Amino acid sequence: MRAVLQRVSRASVSVEGATVGKIGPGLLILICAMQGDDEAKAAQLATKITKMRIFKDAAGKMNLSLKDTGGQALIVSQFTLAADLRGNRPGFSTAAAPDEGKRLYEFFTAAIQAEGIDTANGIFGADMDVSLNNDGPVTIWMDV
């Protein structure tokens, strides 16, 4: 599984002009299932993300996790994270097949929720418009 995390003060996702998910302070999680990924990798990534200490404490240090802050997560599928950039036109053959990608995306969302995090989602496979206010800015790329 591959993810890009952005610490946000707020974020939303719209499809065809209608907002389908939005959060206040927390994380925008762009997620991609790769070929060979399974539930174990999705669960491992979810646990790591919810415990990652990237939120400021009272002293302004990054010492708090999403769980510690009670923040929310906006989870958006993004197969383009699997881009192979060897040529001028990216290839996406390392991404999981759409059915498997959707299954793991839904499993990942459930794993984040099981950690006690309030979530919102985009729509898998849709052409989405994502808006965010990156807090920090803090943006982290992860691969498990």
Q: Annotated catalytic sites, by residue?
A: 78-80
Instruction: Specify the 3-state DSSP secondary structure of 44.
Output: helix
- How far apart CA 15 and CA 133 sit, in angstroms, is 19
For tokens 């762009």, the residue is 30
Cα-based angle 91, 132, 1 (whole degrees, multiple of 5): 40
Give the phi and the psi of residue 94 in degrees, each rounded to 5: -85, -10
Query: 15 is written with which tokens?
Result: 């499809």
- How far apart CA 74 and CA 11 sit, in angstroms, is 7
